[in-house]
Amino acid sequence: MDTVQTLDLALIGGTALLLLVALGLAWYAWRALRSDGEQAARQLRLVGWGGWALVLLSILSLPVSAWWLAHLQPWPLSALWLLGGTLLYIPAFFAWLLLAGRLQRLQAAVRDNGELAAPQRATLVMAALTFVLFAVLLVLVIAKPV
């Protein structure tokens, strides 16, 4: 397999893995919020660590492999899908950071109080926004509309 195909598979696989792990972490966090105080705090701490590991892996690998692939292909760097993917990656990264911070605050609140005070709709909205941004990125990477 040549370099272009390897990079393309790595990029698509990495982005798909990012989304699948994010869905798994969201399910695990939702399940944690339904349990009692100490167990919920412990599970949210695990979700936080998993989220940070996922973000660091994504920050290091996905943009580098995407730009390397773009330079190997005859795609113009001014292609709309390539610029759109780059511009979507920035808010997706910041949405993930906000979500991770929110989960850390939730974990601290559950640890201190033993339970959540109110429904966490804002956290769910942040998680959905982050997922949608990364899903759009995945579609752009796979479809490559010219």
Cβ-proximal residues to 93 (8 Å cutoff; 6+ apart), any chain: 55, 58, 59
pLDDT at 119: 60
| Residues 22, 50: Cα–Cα separation, whole Å | 9
**What pLDDT is recorded for position 114?**
67
| Residue pointed to by tokens 């780059």 | 86
pTM, two decimal places:
0.68
d(Cα 146, Cα 137) in Å, to the nearest integer?
15
**Burial of 103 by CB count in 10 Å (0-12 exposed, 13-18 middle, 19+ buried)?**
buried
Can you tell me the distance from the alpha carbon of 128 to that of 145, in angstroms, rounded to the nearest whole number?
25
**pLDDT tens by residue, the chain, 146 residues:** 688 888 888 877 877 777 777 777 778 777 776 776 677 777 777 777 777 777 777 777 777 887 788 888 887 877 887 888 888 888 988 888 888 788 778 777 777 776 666 667 788 888 888 888 888 887 887 777 76
